[in-house]
Structure 1
Amino acid sequence: MLDLFRKGQVELDESLIVNLRTVEIFLDHLRTDFERHWTLDEMAGHCGMDITSLTKYCKQLSNLTPINYLIKIRLEAAAKMLLDDEDKGVGEISYDCGFSSSQYFATRFRKQYAVSPKDYRANLLLAKK
């Protein structure tokens, strides 16, 4: 393989580059469309590829599956909203960020931030003062 590289006889598969770029663009798009109730099928269809390919490229780019990447984005948005929108309740924020269950949101939030959403808000608001 090294000899092929040295001789410059390696042919690049352009479709792999295009597919990787397509998934990269889609992941950027998710940052602004995270509240939508995405399914894995919809994600793959949006990229014009099958689920296996989407998952492979997503893992290459983010080290996460597409669904886990989406959850990560939702949790980041929720953490920001917990601080910026003090008048909104935790349940409302969870739904605004695309979670269908406030209990699931709280479980995933606690797993990501090692604290409940309510305590996260209280601790950071205290630190602000």
Structure 2
Amino acid sequence: MDQNRPRKLNQNDLVDSAMRHMKQNISKSMSLDDIARHCRTSKPRLTKAFKACLKITPMKWLWKVRLLHAIQIMENQPKLTLGQICYLAGFNSQAHFSRLFKATYGIGPAQFRKSNVTPVDSTFDFYTFSKICR
């Protein structure tokens, strides 16, 4: 085996590496290409690993983590505008953020801020979820 070539990660390690990279760069713009490049793998292999381990695509996982991050920001920094929260959570468009938030939680982010309702999965740690991949 070529010693200069990085070893191929198994599915669990690949998902773990991708998730760690996404969480560390949560507020930065990133594509599936960027994530796969960071993990030194192909987009199809990365997507297949996520679906096998988490039953979700890498980008959907990233959106969920960004939404959870936005909820944490809303709860911890109530004076920030939704635009600021959207940006800090890694969304490039407030309209996209609002649509995705409402589609996921059934309530818009502005209504959420006023309601004091905590979405069921906002306490779920998606990072440790990868440990169930076999």
Q: TM above 0.5, one fold?
A: yes
Partner in structure 2 of residue 86 of structure 1: 78
**1:59-114 Cα deviation digits (max 9, x unpaired):** 12221111111100000000111111111011110011110100000000001111
Q: Give the whole-Å Cα distance in 2 for the aligned partners of 1:31 and 1:99.
A: 14
Which AA in structure 2 matches 1:26?
A
Whose Rg is larger? Answer: 1
Residue in structure 2 matched with residue 6 of structure 1 by the alignment? none
2:54 to 53, 57, 62: 62
Indicate the larger mover: 18-27 or 67-76.
Answer: 18-27
Normalising to structure 1: TM-score of the pair?
Answer: 0.79
Q: Aligned residue for 2:18? A: 26
Unpaired segments of 5 or more residues in structure 1?
1-13
**TM-score, length basis structure 2:** 0.76
Contact 1:30–1:70 (CA under 8 A) maintained in structure 2: yes
- Aligned amino acid, residue 61 of structure 2: Y
Tell me which of the two structures has the higher relative contact order, counting C-alpha pairs closer than 8 angstroms and 6 or more residues apart.
2
Hey, what's the Cα distance between the residues in 2 that align with 1:118 and 1:80? Answer: 14
1:102 aligns with 2:94: yes
* SS of aligned partner of 1:86: coil
Distance 1:31 1:62 in 2: 16
Name the Cα RMSD after superposition.
1.8
- Determine whether 1:36 maps to 2:28: yes
- The structure in which a higher percent of residues are helix is 1
TM-aligned CA deviation for residue 32 of structure 1: 2.7
**Contact 2:21/2:35 (CA < 8 Å) preserved in 1?**
no
Divergent runs of 4+, >6 A: none
Give the Cα–Cα distance (whole angstroms) in 1 for the partners of residues 20 and 36 of structure 2: 15
Identity across aligned pairs (percent)?
A: 26
- The 3-state SS of whatever aligns with 1:49 is coil
Query: Is 1:118–2:110 an aligned residue pair?
Result: yes
